[in-house]
Every structure is written in structure tokens, then in C-alpha cells.
Structure 1
């Protein structure tokens, strides 16, 4: 290839040579303003934005660009959205994502936003993601959008719920709502026969036990309050379950079985009055089919810890469990009981700090875990806080023939060293005397 040909190759705009479908895919990751600005690149790009099917509006795109007062900032972005929708080609919308706009709660902007949402519905949007301020400006047509496959609605203000007059969402697969009540859920969920993913945040007085969840694969319940379950909650197809709240709230949900469960995450914060009656053992029984479990505990006092110890004497067996994370664990006793009840566990993640001084030995539990090959220990302060645990682990692992990894995950938020000379000495000793035990650390970013 001669010099002229090389220069020609170097000056070729290879990106613009890509087909429209590929360029549209690239632009689908852009926010609306950035996507429109591609029109200045060349004639090839001039009208590409007008046929985008993924529309992502975010008011932060205009922030910091000019020294504008808030009112002028809102007016310009309002005008931009309206004009963009007017100049788009008359084609269907795939994704309509309107985030970071909840602070625009004057009447004119709310009415305009209702018009924009109606535009998405009219153009057969499949995914609609919204942040609203008033329920009254959510058009009723969104509840009868037969093309809709995913809907996410967050209400930014303390606004009374407006219930849909009619619901028909035959294609809806994913629903994400916050701050709704039982009546609203019942109206919507009974008309979503093929729902596969449901996320509920800060909802009040709900009962899921009577809902049609035969096809549900993913469920998240975050900081919700529950009515006493009218019946048992059966989730035969559920694969992923996430929960944040008190143990008593999870108990009230009335979960009976989750035979298809592969992953469960539970963040428990304590209600001292209610949680003394909550059976952690019964909660565990609903999770026995999981392959990966993550437990986070916050604010557990001595009375709750004692209750857990007693409850875990009859811990169910987890035959499928391969990964277990017990973060800010209530006690090493819980870790030991879970280890003894998980015969095929391969990876364990626990956290210890100076505020958790339970002296229960777990050496026997580690000896019984024949398939365990990796232990991660999260550290928030100094290596000395976990040194006794590391030494006990090393002692219990001596004589094993297979490689075993012990990894410290370091969350560093204080100045000063976390890893000290004691740690380095132990690493050197293991490398020489017990090479089958590998001790290392990594920083958590």
C-alpha cells in the first residue's frame, strides 16, 4: 500500500459508514441532547437522531452549560423536549426514559409532561421509565398501553394516589413502583397476567398473597409495610428475591415456597419490639433452594442476637447453596450454623470489625465444609480486628490438599495503614509452610 492509499484510509470516516441500525444502537446510549447534537457531524448524521427509538431525557444535560436562573433552565429544556418530539419521524418508540425531572412541578411543565408521556403511548412504547411529581399528570392511557413491556414510575412528591379507571397491560413483563397502596396494586397486578419482574419501594399496607404470580421470576420489596397475609404467597417460578426491612415484615408476607429460587438478598434492620417475635428460622426455610444468599444486618442488639442463636438451633439445610454472604453479621455463631447447614458451600463472605466481638469458635464448622474453597473477609478498620479469625481459619485448614483462598476485602475510610507487618509475616509463613493456603487482599473501590 503506497503513501497516498494510507492517507486515504486514515481519513475515511469509518463510523459514518456503519449502517443506520448500528448507529442507532450507539446513539441509544446517549441522552437526548447529545443525540440531537450529532446532527452537526456530517450530512450522514443530520437526520439520524430523528428516527431514534430510544429517547432518554435528563435535565442535568443542561445544568452547568450556562449561568442560567432555574426558571430559564427549565424553560429551555421544556422547549427542547417539545421541539424534539415534534420533529421526530413518525415511527414507534422503544424506550421513553424521563429521569431527574421531578423538581419541575409547576402546572405548565406537569401538563407538558403528561403530553410527552401520551406521545410515547401513542407511538407504542415498549419501555417507559418516569419520575413524576403529581399522580394527576400521569395520563390514564399509560394503563391501557397494549405495547408496554416495562413500566417504572417514581413519584417525587407527597401526592395522593390517583387510581386507574381501567387497566389492560397484556404484554407487561416488568413493573417498578413506589409509594402505592394495596388497592392500586390489586387494580394493576390482576391485569398483568405475564408479569416476570416486580419491584416495590416504600409501599404501604400491601398484601401480595392473593396476587397472580405464577410467572414471576424476580421480586424486590424495599421498605414496605405489609397487611397480615390473607393467604400463603406461592412463587413457583421466582429465581431472584430481594428484601429490605424488618424480619417481622418478611414474616408477615407469608411466603410459602420458592422452589426455583437461585439468588436471595435480605437487608434486615431492626424493629426491637416486633422482631423479637419474628422467626428467622421460618424465613430461612423459604430460602432453602437458593444457590446464592446475601444477608445484611443493621442495628442488631444483644436481645435480638440471643433470639437468633436460639432460633438457629433448628437451622434448615441448604443443599443447593454455593455462595453465602453474611455482612455485618449478628454473630459468628450464625456463620457457624449456616456453614454446618450448607454441605456444598464453595464461597463464604463475612464481615468483622471491632464492634463485633463474639468469641464463638467456628473451627469445627470450617472442618465440616468439605467443598469450601474461598473465604472473603470484609475489613473496615485494621487488620488486628480480624487477626484472631484469620489465625483460626489457617489452623482449621492445615492438612488440606487442595488450594484454599482467604481474601481480605478492605473498605478504607480512615487514614493510616490497615495491612501491617503481622499480615505480611503471616503471608510469608503460609507461602513456605502451607502453600495450599493463599492469603491476599484487595481494596474495595
Structure 2
């Protein structure tokens, strides 16, 4: 019985959707399947080019520079032979892995995307800002722009900017002046991602629709004024606590999720910022339903400034990771400030110090925290301390009638033996002594 090619019978729109998940090189190769497929690739609206494909070919001892030239020629040739229709997505990945590539082609490819009214342009990475055509800053069809620059110098500023439909913007290695020129002309912006930017100042920019903000490894201008983010739902920050403080964020009433990774700062004894009040940082986060803190500075923030903040009425999940002093009094204070907390996660390199301190303080808070039902402990090393840690947790939770879950996540880098029969015996014994506690573990390999 002859087989039927049902895939080829699908309409062009469905086949194009299937091909949109393929890299451009694979999509073009479908032309050999049959006459039906011969020109389907030429009307694709989502184009994905990935220079990482060359790494597997290079193992065949091909000349590296020649491979890059051939692949670049393939991209240019494909664009020339495409049908004259608009582009939805233009995505070039891993170009930076081949520094001997002809970077002048960047301008050619991006210009093509702009001229064909691309909605999404993703280019990681261009070598310098001069390789971006000026027309990209006035592309009325553009909805998403993701650009990572390897060499920020020389900084070339756009002569004019008009991006009325831009909703998502990722930029790196820009300065304050460049950022201002762009952001004031993006009235529809909902997502902003900044990395390795110098001297940024977001105050004074109308962010009425901004829902997601990411700031990584940036420096901030110390300027007067406050930053209001009325629609922000997700906030991701990576940097020093002083940088976050200097951003001047006043309030985020719509916030649901916040992530903060604080770099450890070195202070002189005479440095005024050492004793600076960081409670404003926590004040700005009080509406979140999920908070994640990373870094040694996070413990200091929670320990010193938490008592100056209002109650976290919406907080359901709290994660404290990499803290050097996760003592019970700090955890107790956090639980007291979060009456509706359901899950507490602690990641620590020295697990025996997680609940170090006065047991009576945290035990009382556990008994009052009626919504808290899960404690998750991530252990990165010193596996041998698990037993006293579990026993201490069980003692602190004694008296609770509600079923409680303690989840231990043992990281593959933890010292000591792999989970053995003795540990399982300990779990069974504690379960019998504390029927309201459900103890389990996950081993990350």
C-alpha cells in the first residue's frame, strides 16, 4: 500500500508555522523534498540564523574563516532570493563567536530586516554601535529589539528616534545620553533589559506601561528625584545594594515578582554608605507575592532594615540564597513581617548555621505562621550537618497540628556520602515522632 504524504497536503500557513521552529539553513534544505516544498522557504517570515552551526562543521578541519564567509554568503543569498514579503522575526545568534567574520554584513542584514518591516530583531552580538543602521531607530513596525554590543566604543548616537510600537527592548553597554534618546520615544514599552550600562538614570522617563524591568551590572547616576513604576510586575536586579538604592525606586504597586542578587561591597570605616538606611529598597518590594534574594548582602539588608518596613501582606514565597548569616532571629523577623507566607526557601553553603540562634524565637513564629506549610533547604556542601539541621527544624515546628513539608535539596557538590540508608532511617524516625511533618529530599546530580 502506497504511503500518503499528509504533511505536504497541509496549507502553506501551517507549513510555515512548522518551519518557523527550524534554523534557516535547515528550512532552506527542505527544498529538495518535493516540488511542493521547493519555494516554501522563500516566503518564511521568521528567519533564524545561528553561527553556532559552524562549530560542528569546523571539526571536519575546515578553514574557520572560510566557513564564516560561506555562512555569511548563505545569509545574504537567502535574503536576496526571498519573496518580497515582510519579515516578522529576524534573529542572528552567536555571531560574536567568530571575531574574524565580516562585521560589515551586520549593517546589510539589519537594514534588510528594517526595510521589510520586521517586528522582532534579535542580534547577539554586534561588534559596535556603528554597525546598526540609523533606520532601525525609526522603524515604525518594530515591536521587539534585542541587541548586545561587544565593543561600546565609539558610541554613535541616533540622529532621530521614533519607535511607537516597541514593546520590548534589550540593550547593553550604552550610556545615559543614549538611553534617554531611546526611551523617551518608546511610549508602548512594556519590557526593558539593561546590562553593563554606565551612568544610567531612569528618573523622569514616563514608564506608565512598563511591566518588566531587568538591570544587570550597571552603574547609576546619583541624581535627585524618584522613580515611579506604577505598572511594573516583574523586577530583576543584579549589582550592588548602593546601586539599587541610588536608582531611587519609590514604589511598585503592581509588583508580583522580584529577584535581587547583591554583590558584596567593600566599605571603609568612614564610608557613610556603610550605615545607610536601605529600608527604602524593601519598601519598594512590599507588594510582591514572590521574592528571591541572593548574595551575602541580602542577609544584612533583611537583618538591619526589615523592622523599618511595612508588612508584606501579599508575600507567599520567599527565597533567601547564599546568605552568610541566616540566623533564626532574621528568619523570625521575616516571618513576622509576612503573615501569609506559604513557602520559605533557604540556600546556604554552611547548612548548620541556617537556624543558628535562639530556637524559642523562631519556634514561636512558626506556631503563629498558619499559612506557612513548606520549608525548602538547599544544601551546597557539608552534607554531614543535615541531621542536626533536620532535628532543629523538627524541634522548632513541634506543636503545629497542620501538615508541614520540609524539603531538602542536596546539591551534587555537597561533601559527604550520597543519601544512604541511615538518612532514610532518620527521616522515618522523625516522621514517627512528628506526624505533622512530611520530610522529603531531592538529590541534584
Fold shared by both chains (TM-score > 0.5): yes
For the residues of structure 1 that align with 2:419 and 2:276, how far apart are their CA atoms?
39
Q: Is residue 62 of structure 1 aligned with residue 54 of structure 2?
A: yes
Structure-to-structure mapping, 1:189-228, within 5 angstroms: 189-228=183-222
Compute the displacement of 1:87 (Å). Answer: 1.0
Question: 1:4 — aligned with what?
Answer: none
Compute the displacement of 1:32 (Å). Answer: 1.3
Deviation string 1:285-320 (CA, Å, 9 cap, x unpaired) is: 11000000000014x5xxx96676333343431000
Q: Contact 1:328 / 1:351 at 8 angstroms: preserved in 2?
A: yes
Question: 1:169 — aligned with what?
Answer: 163
Deviation string 1:19-51 (CA, Å, 9 cap, x unpaired) is: 222221221121111111122222222211111
Moved more, 311-320 or 69-78: 311-320
Deviation string 1:341-373 (CA, Å, 9 cap, x unpaired) is: 100001111013327736223323322211011
Compute the displacement of 1:111 (Å). Answer: 2.2
Moved more, 156-165 or 406-415: 406-415
Q: Contact 2:162 / 2:185 at 8 angstroms: preserved in 1?
A: yes
Moved more, 394-403 or 282-291: 394-403
Deviation string 1:81-126 (CA, Å, 9 cap, x unpaired) is: 01110111111100001121125556x8222220111100010000
For the residues of structure 1 that align with 2:339 and 2:156, how far apart are their CA atoms?
51
For the residues of structure 2 that align with 1:395 and 1:415, how far apart are their CA atoms?
25
Question: 2:334 — aligned with what?
Answer: 338
User: CA 1:418/1:365 → structure 2, altered by over 3 Å: closer, same or farther?
Assistant: farther
For the residues of structure 2 that align with 1:368 and 1:314, how far apart are their CA atoms?
21
Question: 2:366 — aligned with what?
Answer: 366
Structure-to-structure mapping, 1:276-355, within 5 angstroms: 276-298=274-296, 300=297, 309-330=303-324, 331-332=326-327, 333-354=329-350
Q: Is residue 129 of structure 1 aligned with residue 103 of structure 2?
A: no
For the residues of structure 2 that align with 1:64 and 1:17, how far apart are their CA atoms?
34
For the residues of structure 2 that align with 1:439 and 1:244, how far apart are their CA atoms?
33
For the residues of structure 1 that align with 2:31 and 2:301, how far apart are their CA atoms?
65
Structure-to-structure mapping, 1:266-277, within 5 angstroms: 266-273=260-267, 276-277=274-275
Q: Is residue 142 of structure 1 aligned with residue 136 of structure 2?
A: yes
User: CA 1:345/1:50 → structure 2, altered by over 3 Å: closer, same or farther?
Assistant: same
User: CA 1:306/1:64 → structure 2, altered by over 3 Å: closer, same or farther?
Assistant: closer
Query: Which of 41, 50, 73 is matched with 2:42 structurally?
Result: 50
For the residues of structure 2 that align with 1:203 and 1:165, how far apart are their CA atoms?
20
What is the TM-score with the length of structure 1 in the denominator?
Answer: 0.91
Deviation string 1:43-90 (CA, Å, 9 cap, x unpaired) is: 222211111111111111122224211210111011100111011111
Question: 1:24 — aligned with what?
Answer: 16
For the residues of structure 2 that align with 1:198 and 1:410, how far apart are their CA atoms?
35
SS at 1:220's partner residue? strand
Question: 1:439 — aligned with what?
Answer: 439
For the residues of structure 2 that align with 1:357 and 1:316, how far apart are their CA atoms?
28
Query: Which of 234, 259, 263 is matched with 1:240 structurally?
Result: 234
Q: Is residue 384 of structure 1 aligned with residue 384 of structure 2?
A: yes
SS at 2:243's partner residue? helix
Q: Could you list the runs of 5+ residues in structure 2 that have no partner in the other structure?
A: none
Question: 2:90 — aligned with what?
Answer: 96
SS at 1:33's partner residue? helix
Q: Is residue 188 of structure 1 aligned with residue 186 of structure 2?
A: no
Question: 2:27 — aligned with what?
Answer: 35
Moved more, 258-267 or 26-35: 26-35
Q: Contact 1:382 / 1:417 at 8 angstroms: preserved in 2?
A: no
| Paired residue total | 432
For the residues of structure 2 that align with 1:306 and 1:248, how far apart are their CA atoms?
13
Q: Could you list the runs of 5+ residues in structure 1 that have no partner in the other structure?
A: 1-6
User: CA 1:415/1:380 → structure 2, altered by over 3 Å: closer, same or farther?
Assistant: closer
Moved more, 177-186 or 423-432: 423-432
Query: Which of 340, 351, 357 is matched with 2:353 structurally?
Result: 357
What is the TM-score with the length of structure 2 in the denominator?
Answer: 0.91
Question: 1:157 — aligned with what?
Answer: 151
Question: 1:3 — aligned with what?
Answer: none
User: CA 1:17/1:335 → structure 2, altered by over 3 Å: closer, same or farther?
Assistant: farther
User: CA 1:425/1:70 → structure 2, altered by over 3 Å: closer, same or farther?
Assistant: same
Question: 1:15 — aligned with what?
Answer: 7
Question: 1:230 — aligned with what?
Answer: 224
For the residues of structure 2 that align with 1:270 and 1:123, how far apart are their CA atoms?
47
